[in-house]
Amino acid sequence: MRHRIAVIGGGPAGLTFARVMHRHGHPVTVLERDPAPDARPPGGTLDLHENLGQLALGKAGLLAEFQALSRPEGQAMRILDVDGTVLRDWQSRPDDQANPEIDRGQLRDLLLGPLDVQWGRDVTEVVPGTRDGALVRFADGRQETFDLVIGADGAWSRVRPAISSATPHYTGVTLVETSLDDVDTRHPDLARLIGDGSMAVYGVNRALVAQRNSGGHVKVYAQFRAPLDWHTNLDRHMGLNRHAGLDAGLDLADGEAVRSSLLALFDGWAAPALDLLRHGTAFVHRPLYVLPVSHTWAHVPGVTLLGDAAHLMPPLGAGANLAMLEGAELAEAVAAAPGPGDLDEAVRAFEERMWARAGGWAKITTAGLERLVSPDPTEALALFDEVQPS
């Protein structure tokens, strides 16, 4: 390889970059903080859009393998009223390849393939412009210099401070994630209701969304507007204490206490919706943070950002797609850049293109979150009516 390149982070952005580089005959090493690929649960399902994530997989030569793994039927969407009435029921055609779903773990394994990933490499800091290039410092005390450092290290990027002072801020919406296993055998009524794709219920400032993954696994997201410290005083912040009979503070590590407080928060909703919470196995607290819409920076030679590190936005089906396409496009640009000056020009041009596209999606997803978790639940329905094919 002509250029010394560090890819920091082995998520969709970093792995797609590395995979496209590999295809162009320029293998690069991915430096990932997790100690092993299976160190954390991989997360839920992702829908990959034809003109974003799938385009990236095409550039990596992986589209056919993706199509063999993905679930077009996962595009089905059912919306219920809080009383259980089915308000909308969109089925998907088996040949519809617009946004098929794939489990995050399956996508990661597909991208990993032949790649060289160094696990357990925790980056703490990047210093651009040293005599020998951009310096990367690791938590174990090691340091190395590179011609180009690519920060694909997600929302809380340690690379980002080298080129931007932006930090994520809380959206006012929190998710609490739980899961159901073997749903078809253990909870057949719920399985039928969720169908092959997703099922959602929208109420006043809160929502419940269930998404089928492969192998009978279902991820459930309870979403609500709340202050960041909602769990420290349920009475004051959520008006829950009288209902739930809970102490003022909720220990987020206590799954049964979280379940009780969520059941109180969604009190009065139809039984099948509440069953998603009653049968959930573990509860993970995910307050939603975002970077400023249209986040850009003054170009710094030797360092750039991809994916959530560059443009963290509400999780409305765009983040991983953008991360992958950016990874693929940057790889193509870098692979076609023979000398150091060409490399910097290629990165600069790539950033302009990334900012324009991601800025548009950040606006769409920010407005979308406002409507999906809204004081007026008809807004959520109206949003789906606008975006779902009739």
Ligand X SMILES: Cc1cc2nc3c(=O)[nH]c(=O)nc-3n(C[C@H](O)[C@H](O)[C@H](O)COP(=O)(O)OP(=O)(O)OC[C@H]3O[C@@H](n4cnc5c(N)ncnc54)[C@H](O)[C@@H]3O)c2cc1C
| Cβ distance to ligand X smaller for residue 123 or 183 | 123
With beta carbons less than 8 A apart as the criterion, state whether 314 and 183 touch.
no
Q: What is the DSSP string of 213-252?
A: -STT-EEEEEEEE--TTGGG-HHHHHS-HHHH---SS--T
Radius of gyration of the chain (CA): 22
| Cβ distance to ligand X smaller for residue 175 or 331 | 175
Least distance in angstroms from the C-beta of 142 to ligand X: 12
| 151 part of the interface to ligand X, by CB under 6 A | no
| 147 part of the interface to ligand X, by CB under 6 A | no
With beta carbons less than 8 A apart as the criterion, state whether 36 and 119 touch.
yes
Pure H helices in the chain: 12-23, 53-59, 63-69, 104-112, 183-186, 188-194, 234-238, 241-244, 255-265, 271-278, 308-311, 319-335, 340-372, 378-387
| 158 part of the interface to ligand X, by CB under 6 A | yes
| 46 part of the interface to ligand X, by CB under 6 A | yes
Among 18, 19, 22, 47, binds ligand X (CB under 6 A): 47
| 12 part of the interface to ligand X, by CB under 6 A | yes
Residue of 32, 28, 121 lying closest to 330 (CA atoms) = 28
The half-sphere exposure of 141 on its side-chain side, counting CA atoms within 13 A, is: 0
| 197 part of the interface to ligand X, by CB under 6 A | no
| Cβ distance to ligand X smaller for residue 5 or 240 | 5
Q: What is the DSSP string of 37-94?
A: TTSS---SEEEPPTTTHHHHHHHTT-HHHHHHH-BGGGG-EEEE-TTS-EEEEE---T
CA distance 90 to 210: 15
Residues in the chain: 390
Least distance in angstroms from the C-beta of 231 to ligand X: 18
With beta carbons less than 8 A apart as the criterion, state whether 237 and 217 touch.
no
CA distance 227 to 238: 9
Residue of 201, 148, 219 lying closest to 210 (CA atoms) = 219
The residue range among 43-51, 72-80, 195-203, 257-265 that interacts with ligand X, by the rule CB under 6 A, is: 43-51
| 153 part of the interface to ligand X, by CB under 6 A | yes
Among 5, 6, 7, 9, binds ligand X (CB under 6 A): 9
| Cβ distance to ligand X smaller for residue 92 or 240 | 92
Token representation of residue 298: 């003054």
| 344 part of the interface to ligand X, by CB under 6 A | no
Least distance in angstroms from the C-beta of 342 to ligand X: 25
| 74 part of the interface to ligand X, by CB under 6 A | no
Among 321, 331, 333, 361, binds ligand X (CB under 6 A): 321
CA distance 183 to 194: 10
Which 8-state DSSP code applies to residue 120? T
| Interface size with ligand X, residues (CB under 6 A) | 33
Residue of 274, 322, 229, 214 lying closest to 80 (CA atoms) = 274
Least distance in angstroms from the C-beta of 245 to ligand X: 30
Least distance in angstroms from the C-beta of 232 to ligand X: 22
Among 19, 22, 33, 187, binds ligand X (CB under 6 A): 33
| 250 part of the interface to ligand X, by CB under 6 A | no
With beta carbons less than 8 A apart as the criterion, state whether 317 and 370 touch.
no
Least distance in angstroms from the C-beta of 260 to ligand X: 23
The residue range among 42-50, 268-276, 277-285, 376-384 that interacts with ligand X, by the rule CB under 6 A, is: 42-50
| Cβ distance to ligand X smaller for residue 75 or 374 | 75
Draw the binding track, 272-311, toward ligand X (x: CB under 6 A; -: no contact).
Answer: --------------x--------------------xxx--
Least distance in angstroms from the C-beta of 72 to ligand X: 15
With beta carbons less than 8 A apart as the criterion, state whether 352 and 40 touch.
no
| 5 part of the interface to ligand X, by CB under 6 A | no
Least distance in angstroms from the C-beta of 331 to ligand X: 14
The residue range among 69-77, 149-157, 352-360, 368-376 that interacts with ligand X, by the rule CB under 6 A, is: 149-157
| Cβ distance to ligand X smaller for residue 37 or 255 | 37
Beta bridge partners of 211: 198, 219
β-strands 86-90, 77-80: how paired?
antiparallel
Binding site for ligand X (CB under 6 A): 8-14, 31-34, 44, 46-47, 121-123, 152-154, 158, 175, 286, 307-309, 315, 317-321, 323
